[in-house]
Amino acid sequence: MKLYKLSRTQTFEMFGTSRCAKMRVFVVFASIIATCIGSAIPRLPRDSQYVEGKTRFIWLSDGEGVPTLVDLNTPVDEEALASRTGANNQYWLYTRNNPTTAQIITHGNVDSILHSNYVASKPLMVIAHGWTNNGNHQVNTMLTEAFLAAQDVNVIVVDYRTVAALNYVSAVFRVPDVGQHLAEFLSWLIETGGGTWDNVHLVGYSLGAHVVGNAGRAAGGLPARVTGLDPAGPLWQTNRNRLSIGDGQYVEAIHTDGLYQGIYRPIGDADFYPNGGVNPMPGCVDSGCSHARAYQYFASSIYSNHFVGKSCQNIIEAGANRCQGSLLNMGNNILNKRGSGLYGLSTGESWPF
């Protein structure tokens, strides 16, 4: 819309000089201002459906679970990207000898492996957080505690906070690079400190699900298992860099906030849709809670492996949670787990669900 600047005299010549005419002028311009403000800050329902290529504004949960309005048309921050890459990744090692205090393993520094509690013969669990998060986020602490309680393993938390702190569009752009650096680090760790890809389980939450997908792909699909916990949906539905079959020997996805913060379409060898896979999950009232349920369910499954999925004929049946086919447990920490297809199941409202 092109606006023309009129002088005070011209304006009142157009509308007349009466008080009523002046009021009409005020109302017209007030309406224009209101329209502009309304388009800049939309009144958007916090759980409205996301549609790839059409949705521009969306509420996404920040590191504390607080809804943050994101403009998906925001330009990539080229200046910030110049210094924020996967090279900034940090790798925090936890074992039963140091379950709560991290030991930092630095890529290329052999001493950082030799002076750590890393044991090559033990399974290696790798965890990647989501957007605006860091290594201290609950997804890392909850899963680390669960893995170490269930089995004597190495746990490495990937802290990619410098990229995760970017605006969402820029963070999405940087995900492949973060994954590439993670793959290079793990290759170096195995070659230098010992181990085997058959003992590696990559786990990622939200944006981190695509990080570990890219890492597995860069490693030639060698990791024994890759698990995506409600993989991020916005800008990922048709993105070739998303978590996919082939990123590991077995790829699993757990969908809890599909059609909004999480991706809904099947993307793994096995895709689980607890309670239909969309918000609200039992015990939740919003998208943020449902999104987080993915890693909470997964943590619970490591302790007791009690979630039994039933295979579905299609996504419609999965969404309605009316699946009655063959059985496959959702989650757990079994490295050689295998399965394929879509699965539905029901959970409880609170821990252990």
> Which residues form the domain of 178?
57-345
Confidence at 124, pLDDT banded by 50, 70, 90: very high
Q: Look at 59 and 7; give whichever has higher pLDDT.
A: 59
Indicate if 148 and 174 belong to the same structural domain. Answer: yes
pLDDT of the residue at 65: 85
Residue 3 lies in a domain: no
Q: Per the structure block, which two tokens stand in for 113?
A: 């492996």
DSSP states of 47-66 as a string?
TPPP-TTT--EEEEE-TTS-
Residue 325 to residue 308: CA distance in whole angstroms? 11
Q: In Å, what is the CA distance from 326 to each residue of 101, 306, 343?
A: 42, 16, 9
Q: Cite the active site residues.
A: 206, 230, 291
pLDDT digits (tens, 9 = 90+) for 161-177: 999 999 999 999 999 99
Confidence of residue 43 (pLDDT cuts 50, 70, 90): low
Instruction: Give pTM, 2 decimals.
Output: 0.88
Residues 286 and 213: their CA atoms lie apart, in Å, by 27
Q: Which residues contact 16 (CB under 8 A, 6 or more apart)?
A: none
224/330 same-domain check: yes
Residue 194 lies in a domain: yes
259: left (phi over 0), alpha (psi -120 to 50) or beta: left
Answer yes or no: are the C-beta atoms of 130 and 206 closer than 8 Å: yes
- Domain shared by 219 and 147, yes or no: yes
* Predicted pLDDT at 81: 97
- Can you read off the two tokens belonging to residue 181? 């650096």
Per the structure block, which two tokens stand in for 291?
């999104």
pLDDT digits (tens, 9 = 90+) for 234-274: 999 999 999 999 999 999 999 999 999 999 999 999 999 99
Residue 352 lies in a domain: no
How large is the average pLDDT for residues 204-215? 98
Mean local confidence (pLDDT), 101-127: 98
45, part of any domain? no
Statement to judge: residues 82 and 220 lie in one domain: yes
Mean pLDDT (the chain, rounded): 90
User: Does 310 map to a domain?
Assistant: yes
Within 10 Å of residue 108's Cβ, how many Cβ atoms?
9
Q: At what angle do helices 19-40 and 8-15 cross, to 10 degrees?
A: 110
| 266 falls within a domain | yes
Checking 35-43 for CB contacts under 8 A at 24+ apart, the result is: 41/69
Q: What is the pLDDT of residue 9?
A: 37
Number of structural domains in the chain: 2
In this structure, are 33 and 140 located in the same domain? no
* In the predicted structure, residue 28 carries a pLDDT above the cut 70: no
Backbone angles phi, psi at 270, to 5 degrees: -130, 135
The secondary structure element, H or E, covering residue 92 is strand 90-95
Q: What token pair was written down for 233?
A: 């949906």
Give the SS3 label for residue 152: coil
Residues in the chain: 353
Residues 131 and 30 in one domain: no
- Residues 321, 281 contacting (CB under 8 angstroms): no
Task: Please name the residues in contact with 295: beta carbons below 8 A apart, sequence gap of 6 or more.
Answer: 138, 139, 142, 143, 205, 229, 230
Q: Are residues 106 and 18 in the same domain?
A: no
132 belongs to a structural domain: yes
Same domain? For 245 and 206 the reply is yes
pLDDT at 34 over 80: no
Q: Are residues 138 and 245 in the same domain?
A: yes
Tell me, yes or no, whether 23 and 144 share the same domain: no
In a domain? residue 297:
yes
Same domain, 19 and 155: no
pLDDT of amino acid 55 = 95
Count CB-CB contacts under 10 A for residue 243: 31
DSSP H or E stretch at residue 26? helix 19-40
Q: Check which CATH number belongs to the domain holding 328 and give it.
A: 3.40.50.1820
Cβ neighbours of residue 37 under 8 Å, at least 6 residues apart? none
- Do 124 and 12 belong to one domain? no
Count of other CB atoms within 10 angstroms of residue 66: 11
Residue-wise DSSP of 281-296: PTT--SHHHHHHHHHH
Residue 203: is its pLDDT beyond 90?
Answer: yes
pLDDT of amino acid 23: 36
